[in-house]
Amino acid sequence: MRVYPVFFKVAFSWMDPELAHTLGFAGIKLAHRSGLGRLLSRLTAPDAGAAVQVMGLTFPSPFGLAAGFDKGATGTHALTDLGFGHVEIGTVTGRAQPGNPRPRLFRLVRDRAVINRMGFNNDGAEAVAPRVAAALQSLAQESIRTGRPRPVVGVNIGKTKAVGLEDAVGDYVRSTRVLAPYADYLVVNVSSPNTPGLRQLQELDSLRPLLGAVRREADRVTNRRVPLLVKIAPDLADQDVLAVADLALELGLDGIVATNTTIAREGLGLRSSPEEVTRCGAGGLSGPPVRRRAVAVLRLLREHVGDRLVLVSVGGVTSAEDVRERLDAGAALVQGYTAFLYEGPFWAARINRGLRRAARGTSR
């Protein structure tokens, strides 16, 4: 019997979801600072054989934590103690901002899903950059001590709400200038539904100059080529997904993160009552209800681009079987987030064990 589901029901299910997240994350960071994290990492670390080479980087496991959990790089090393092969920081904006008014995070427990309208609440690129640098230094030291590959740290950047669409390129360039020197890879987020107008940047006439400017700035401020990806919404029509893929190829991007949260509510097979869903209000829905579309977008992209782009699949990932499905469908990496809230701190370790068992089964 697993303990965490009972703990979640007793300790967290009645609590405001954002407060529960804050307290849970604080516990993870406390465990790391106390030295318990070092013991945890021995128990949760992926097998050496699980490591994958993607974008010139060594990922200890193909499974990592999606952007949104550690928005400010305040607990990156602590999260890798739990077995994640990579952690994507952010979304980080050019300027600090408080995000949308609370409440802004809601659970659909029957669907094991979440609706959020956080609005890129974060401390801004200038504050986050030194934290990323410190996390990388700490992780590198642990890698030397243990002989295990260092977990990868990606940085996801978005538009500051107060910046108009006409100035969006400069805002993304500002974040790139500050963060690219420390990021193992960069993701341009143009697909969150919680910043007004942001998804308009997925239109090719807006996306082309934006991605081109970020690529040039990343190259200018670093002495290495920082891998660059773009994160797209599941709500794009198939032809628009393919158009973004063609643009990524044209501009020499490294990959696509597919997909972000959805604004859809119909056709997802939600078990929660319509009244409960309506009470949550606007925002991006994540978790198992988006799984089918996330897999469909992944398959569509793989068929279209082959191995010319790295595909990172996210959306509705709960189990090792889900991760294996995405890898078999053409993903190089897989990310999760929502299930972490329901599955607890040993979720990534369970997925790594499941992947190990699957690998042993196929090798017989």
Q: Is 117 annotated as a binding residue?
A: yes
Say whether 158 counts as a known binding-site residue. Answer: no
- Smallest Cα–Cα separation from 248: which of 208, 209, 218, 214? 208
Asked whether residue 259 is marked as a ligand-binding residue, the answer is: yes
To the question of whether residue 215 is assigned a binding role by annotation, the answer is: no
> Is 231 flagged in the annotation as binding?
yes
Do the annotations mark residue 29 as ligand-binding?
A: no
- DSSP per-residue letters across 167-220: GHHHHHHHHHHHHTTT-SEEEEE---TTSTTGGGGGSHHHHHHHHHHHHHHHHH
**261 among the known binding-site residues?**
yes
Q: 329, 295 in Cβ contact below 8 A?
A: yes
- Taking each helix axis from N to C end, the angle separating 125-146 and 168-179, rounded to the nearest 10 degrees, works out to 30
Q: Which of 267, 260, 210 is nearest to 235 (CA)?
A: 260
346 is in an annotated binding site: no
3-class DSSP state of 52: strand
41 carries an active-site annotation: no
Q: Is 223 annotated as a binding residue?
A: no
Annotated binding residue 160: no
Residues 192, 227 contacting (CB under 8 angstroms):
no
On the CB side of 267, CA atoms within 13 Å amount to 6
Whether 119 has a binding-site annotation, put simply, is: yes
Is residue 156 annotated as involved in ligand binding? yes
Angle in degrees, CA 92, 21, 343, rounded to 5 = 110
Is there a binding annotation on residue 70? yes
Is 69 within any annotated ligand binding site? yes
76 is in an annotated binding site: no
- Which entry of 192, 272, 286, 313 is annotated as an active-site residue? 192
Rounded distance, CA 58 to CA 105, Å? 34
- Do the annotations mark residue 352 as ligand-binding? no
Handedness of CA 210, 217, 297, 302 (dihedral sign): positive
Residue 1, annotated as binding a ligand: no
Phi, psi of 156 (to 5 degrees): -105, 125
Instruction: Name residue 333's beta-bridge partners.
Output: 312
Asked if residue 296 lies in contact with residue 267, where contact means CB atoms within 8 angstroms, the answer is no
Report whether 91 belongs to an annotated binding site.
yes
What is each CA distance from 88 to 38, 75, 207, 210, 356, in whole angstroms?
21, 11, 22, 21, 23
Distance from first CA to last CA of the chain, Å, rounded? 30
121 is in an annotated binding site: no
Catalytic residues: 192
Binding-site residues for FMN: 67-71, 91, 156, 189, 231, 259, 287, 316, 337-338
Binding-site residues for substrate: 71, 116-120, 189, 194, 260-261
Binding-site residues: 67-71, 91, 116-120, 156, 189, 194, 231, 259-261, 287, 316, 337-338
